[in-house]
A and B are shown apart, each in its own frame.
Chain A
């Protein structure tokens, strides 16, 4: 197990450098001079241009810029936002809990619904539930997120008036946010209705964000279960006289979880991509919306730093999934 961990950690290193290179190159390959774009219609004087260029390091050769960028990263410095003048890393950590809360809710919904749905579909293969589920999953998987979000908003917010349209909590509440998680902070604040307000704000964006991972997890669980159900050891489990719930829920599911966990890990990437759209639609103040806003504002330092942070998080999640995978699959644990 230890050597497996060490080996896995070592692969982290080249990937991380790859990511720094990509995020560095990304904004420099975009068409247009960043300083001119930043200045906008008004334009800048030659003097001011050179001043800005020197300030942002754009007058240096590319390799020097990259080295400086790397050096900054290792000191925890991802640059400063042109717009807010605050360090990118500070902005990131201020906004990250909102995204984390939304993503966690979404992935929990996707797992809690997706795995049982996949198991039931596999056990009752070809029956009504199975066919309905698989069709729904296909629709869920192929639906454009923004269209689905708008549909939900029209029905539940505009039509029925059940849920708010934007933000994390109603504007009438004011309290400290020590954890950054609105669900927890609203409970800690102990104000009438604050928690419910937080929940009602969270519910539509989480459903929207959960849709694609839910569809993926349900389909993967079903196909993994179908494969496992035909195995010899399932006959052994039945020959013991175990009840169906134990046979399917313990003996089959434990084996079927091995590929499903990989898929859950991979869907974190999908989730963050989805978060960008979802946060923008629901005005959810997280890093997804932050990135989009920064791109529109040509806030290159933020885009570059944010990209790096998001990629790093995806890598850390993948690493965690690999370790989990080792824990659940004894064949790997040994290796």
Chain B
């Protein structure tokens, strides 16, 4: 059985201007030791769907799912107390802004040891030893000294390493990394990604990497889910996806990569992700899709087969050609 199994997850926010569906019918399945990425533009519901799994959404959010299981626990019916036993221990998450994600009033050491005190039976001395070990593991030099540092005394990259150390404290089965490098500069980004995949490899935990950077995906993960406007539009192994994207949105994302552009100008995807008030009737991508026709604009598409990357499209691409168009025309 999969470690994390999600079927038809939707999240709706109650807003002053009515309900807003930030996540719309997403399926995710993660096995032990899996390494996958969720990719999508800003606002496509990547963070919200994972925060739903962690149970960290505000009360304005309504979560519905046909299935939502982690390590044999049904997350939909779990009590707050039971969930708190799992998150931070077997299921960890790190965030986009490392500098503001650490509490400025406590030393880094306190914040790491706090997790250990909460979830393990280690005594004071063992916790300190473990904290030092964790700091070494995430590549922080002079760990003993760094443990007594306050967050404002550390750089962004260092803070993110400390966050990773904290998340790894209880050897989680799954780590969710929500854009862990977006706020860092490029050289540090590469180091942190390498650290994450290295740790994933060594500890055998599963890792979900949330990113909007296709370049990161190519170098880091095995499997990719592409998300658009709250829906999962495609999922494939990473080589296959880069080789032959089946959803027009994926194809457009890939051709916007500088490395792949043959042109002097970088192609962009015209238009923006639909928001609360301009959700199209049919396929959500249809207003921006170069292949869209009347059917796309009127009817919501169904998921395609596994061979076609579960593409949420009426005419999934095969080697760049939309399929099944003649039949309907």
Q: Which residues of A contact B (CB under 8 A)?
A: 231-233, 235-243, 251, 254-255, 328-331, 334
Q: Knowing A242-B118, A330-B150 are in contact, say whether A237-B103 is a contact too (CB < 8 A).
A: yes
Q: Knowing A241-B85, A331-B152 are in contact, say whether A236-B118 is a contact too (CB < 8 A).
A: no
15 contacts between A and B (CB under 8 A): A239-B54, A240-B166, A241-B83, A241-B85, A241-B89, A241-B119, A243-B84, A251-B103, A254-B106, A255-B103, A255-B105, A330-B150, A331-B104, A331-B152, A334-B152
Q: Knowing A235-B95, A330-B150, A331-B152 are in contact, say whether A240-B104 is a contact too (CB < 8 A).
A: no
Chain B contact residue count (CB 8 A cutoff) = 29
CB-CB under 8 A from A231, the residues of chain B are: 100
Q: Check B101 against A236 for contact (C-beta < 8 Å).
A: yes
Nearest B residue (CB) for A331: B152
What is the bound-complex CA distance between A254 and B153, given in angstroms? 18
Q: Check A239 against B93 for contact (C-beta < 8 Å).
A: yes
What is the bound-complex CA distance between A330 and B100, given in angstroms? 15
Q: Check B84 against A254 for contact (C-beta < 8 Å).
A: no
Q: Check B87 against A240 for contact (C-beta < 8 Å).
A: yes
Q: Quick check: is B193 within 8 A (CB to CB) of the other chain? A: no
What is the bound-complex CA distance between A273 and B137, given in angstroms? 58
CB-CB under 8 A from B104, the residues of chain A are: 233, 255, 330-331
Q: Quick check: is B44 within 8 A (CB to CB) of the other chain? A: no
What is the bound-complex CA distance between A179 and B61, given in angstroms? 59
Q: Quick check: is B197 within 8 A (CB to CB) of the other chain? A: no
| Closest CB in chain A relative to B234 CB, distance in Å | 29
Q: Quick check: is B29 within 8 A (CB to CB) of the other chain? A: no
| Closest CB in chain B relative to A51 CB, distance in Å | 64
Q: Quick check: is B296 within 8 A (CB to CB) of the other chain? A: no
| Closest CB in chain A relative to B82 CB, distance in Å | 10
By DSSP majority rule, is chain A's interface helix, strand, loop, or mixed? helix
| Closest CB in chain A relative to B105 CB, distance in Å | 4
What is the bound-complex CA distance between A329 and B152, given in angstroms? 11
Of A232, A233, A238, A241, most buried by chain B (CB within 10 Å of CB) is: A241
Q: Check A240 against B115 for contact (C-beta < 8 Å).
A: yes
Please report which residues of chain B, range 124-170, place their CB below 8 angstroms from some CB of chain A when the two chains form the complex.
Answer: 150, 152-153, 163, 166
What is the bound-complex CA distance between A283 and B153, given in angstroms? 54
Nearest A residue (CB) for B80: A244
Task: Identify which of B89, B102, B105, B150 contacts A236 (C-beta below 8 A).
Answer: B102
Q: Check B119 against A236 for contact (C-beta < 8 Å).
A: no
What 1/0 mask marks residues of chain B from 92 to 130 whose CB sits below 8 Å from any chain A CB? 110101001111111000000011001100000000000
Please report which residues of chain B, range 240-297, place their CB below 8 angstroms from some CB of chain A when the two chains form the complex.
Answer: none
Q: Quick check: is B45 within 8 A (CB to CB) of the other chain? A: no
CB-CB under 8 A from B152, the residues of chain A are: 330-331, 334
| Closest CB in chain A relative to B264 CB, distance in Å | 41
Of B54, B93, B100, B105, most buried by chain A (CB within 10 Å of CB) is: B105
CB-CB under 8 A from B150, the residues of chain A are: 330-331, 334
CB-CB under 8 A from A235, the residues of chain B are: 56, 95, 101
What is the bound-complex CA distance between A88 and B21, given in angstroms? 74
Q: Quick check: is B86 within 8 A (CB to CB) of the other chain? A: yes
Task: Identify which of B89, B93, B97, B166 contacts A232 (C-beta below 8 A).
Answer: B97
Nearest A residue (CB) for B106: A254
What is the bound-complex CA distance between A330 and B101, given in angstroms? 16
| Closest CB in chain B relative to A234 CB, distance in Å | 8
Q: Quick check: is B88 within 8 A (CB to CB) of the other chain? A: yes
| Closest CB in chain B relative to A169 CB, distance in Å | 43
| Closest CB in chain A relative to B164 CB, distance in Å | 12
Q: Check B103 against A241 for contact (C-beta < 8 Å).
A: no
| Closest CB in chain B relative to A327 CB, distance in Å | 11
Q: Check B103 against A334 for contact (C-beta < 8 Å).
A: no
CB-CB under 8 A from A243, the residues of chain B are: 84
| Closest CB in chain A relative to B156 CB, distance in Å | 13
9 tightest A-B CB contacts, nearest first? A241-B88, A240-B88, A241-B84, A232-B100, A330-B150, A233-B103, A254-B105, A241-B87, A232-B101
